[in-house]
Structure 1
Amino acid sequence: MIPARPAPQPAVTVVGIGADGWEGLPGPSRTALRDAEVLIGGARQLDLLPPECPGERITWPSPLRPAVPGLLAAHSGRRIAVLASGDPMFYGIGRALTEVFDEVHDKELGELRVLPHPSSVSHAAARLGWPVEDVEVVTLVGRPAARLAAALHDGRRLLVLSADATTPAEVAALLRDRGFGPSRMRVLEQLGGAKERTTAEATADDWAHPSGDALNIVAVECRRAPDALRLGAVPGLPDEAYEHDGQLTKRHIRAATLGALAPAPGELLWDIGGGSGSIAIEWMRTHPSCRAVTVERDPVRAERITRNADRLGVPGLRVVTGAAPAVLVELPPPDAVFIGGGLTAPGLLDACWEALPAGGRLVANTVTLESEALLAEAYRRHGGELVRLAVAHAVPVGGFTGWRQAMPVTQWAVQKPLRTPVRKTSDPSAAADDPAGADR
């Protein structure tokens, strides 16, 4: 009988540690840290370890993410323990490490093991009596505070992961600026440790607490001011939410356009002819992982798009100033493309179609006859759906009310085929009779 081979020891163990330090660690985590030949972590985390952890101590360099592969490779063959705050897989170093291991298929680095600790979110929810599943978490660690704006909805509870001691005041200022000054705030510091402390509750309007401990989390109960503009969670925000010069896809057309684009988590949109950025912004607001690049040739409008994105909670929107299709070669491949301007630019429609992967979506809007002719031809070649969208608004007519018709919008929406269909027919003229054409 062949004896069973012992399970390989993990080359890298990620150990979550809280503000309670060594005393709060369970047995397996302590054993991994004692046995490690190399200990990697932030200075604050390494300082929590006692002398009985004799491994070589290495502080993470900055920037951290690019240094991870080289640092692990430099100590390949040694037992490595990486320290992380709380749960390493919740906005922690665990993600970067798993990505590195996936890239090398663990052939060079060995095995990866993660030993989590309760996260600051779990501690905060327990202290506040908030069910975790009902709380939205927004991290501002290494990210702009403007991200918080997309999560502001009346009655919602938020837990904000702070970058440092200045974050609570920054959160209060953003809430006031975005019309959520009445929101209730509390700051919870050093959760789970001997120095744990919670500030007194106050509104963002009245927030005057001095900066406290750098290790903190901000609890927010959202309350919208009565005179603040209400922003919903679905596409079709009020036109008043945008700074614009008239180049804006209006609310009802915008909602229909986003419906045709059908954003899904993690997808990337090209927004060609950004105008005020409304399509790209509302694409990104549908899910935190949605990404977008907007192309705008006018530098003034490009700056305006950046301001709109910041105000509406998607500061990660990438704005490219330049003319399409020339600048498109510099962009990462899209999952969907929206063309809101510049349709008559030579080669633009074909370039966007070629850039789409199989299954990708393209939506184009126009109000001119010249561009409409281009869309009709594209519809003939590729199929999809060609519709005309018309909106009328009730307006005063003397002492009565009548309808004022906005310019109708022609919209072409199409999904690129997963494969080119093969037509089977005994009549060679059948393809010519098909209005969609043989290229469909």
Structure 2
Amino acid sequence: MSGFPRPRGSREEAELRRASLRLAALFTALMVGLLGLGGLLVYGIVATQTRQAAEQTLESAVRNDSPRDVPLDVFLAVYDDGRLAVSRDMPAGLPDEQALAEVARDGTSRRGTVSVGGRTYEVLTARRGPDVVQAAVDTNEAAEQLRRLAWSLVVSVLTAGILAGAVSAVAARAAMRPLAESLALQRRFVADASHELRTPLTLLSTRAQLLRRRLADPRGQESGSAADEAAKQEAAIKAADDVVTDTKVLTGILEDLLVAADPRQPASTETVNLTAVARGAVGLLQPEAERRGLALELEAPASDVTVRGGQAALQRIFTALGDNAMDYARTRVRVSVGRSGREAVIAVEDDGPGFPPGFSSHAFDRFASARDSESGTGNESAAAPRHYGLGLALVAEIAARYGGTVRAATASEGRGARLEVRLPLAGKQAQL
């Protein structure tokens, strides 16, 4: 494995997908609403113009006194002193004789519709001098055009809605991704900070309490021996130095976390001697190893092994690997630093049960877990699960930040686990 980019968890992916779908749905609904309103407006304008055109045709037609003078799509009937003249091809059911009789009687114009043979005609009957004139226009063609327009608008709005939905889904996902990544980065920083700061804060608190007890010990006031007073003072100074050292470690961890939390800024590097860092980390881990009854060994060359990186971040590699090894070791943990070609090799081995078969490739995943096959019963399903939390994942991320790789394998003695980090050597060492 190499690089170990931070994986995007299923939770962040699900939240991003839901937010993108909600945003796309809102945008699509807005687009469909606006296009629908536009379609209604277009339909209303066309329908009004069609109606006005029919009215103008009828008004113009009733001004004629001869059926032969009207357009072919207009049917005209002229009632003159008991005589009725009609257009050629006048449809059956026209003219509307009742309307002609009513207008002839009272002279008031009448407008109406007549449905004959499945067709609808707009009819205007009016008096023109001594004559009563009735004009009729077939409205079926106009109505059919309006229906086609309505269907075209509906199909256009639906098509535009589908396209807007597809485009907005892609655009919303692209727009939401930076926000989702920022939220994921924030959650990751909180998780990393709580994990990384817990141990040094606990150690700092413990040493501060020990220092307070030594300073407040009443037996120191009863002793008249100058040697005893000097020894107590020396112990108090050492305890205070330990507190200062822990505070510096804590500050370095916090600064490194803040740098790692902003991927836009390149990681600042310096030349770091891994041998010295390993000695310091083993010194910090030694009290915990003694408390657990474990032998903590350091194997490092006499010469320096230098790499480019951050002092605090590289120390976190040793402490995280050491903490993990002590969680599963039976009797000992061995920390080693060496060279292999152009790479510096950091390795931490324990004599515990090791990794379950097939789990080595997942050991550096965040919150990885596996069941210990060595349960003593031969039943792997009954074994208690082992949880690796964030420690090893943070090691992988630090290694990737400085161009390194990580690997999990079986310890060199064939039993236990071996966690290995490889980093490029710095300066002249890389050229040897």
Smaller-chain TM-score bracket? under 0.3
TM-score, normalising length: structure 2:
0.22
Hey, which of these two has a bigger chunk of helix by percent?
2
TM-score, normalising length: structure 1:
0.22
Higher relative contact order (CA 8 A, sep 6+): 2
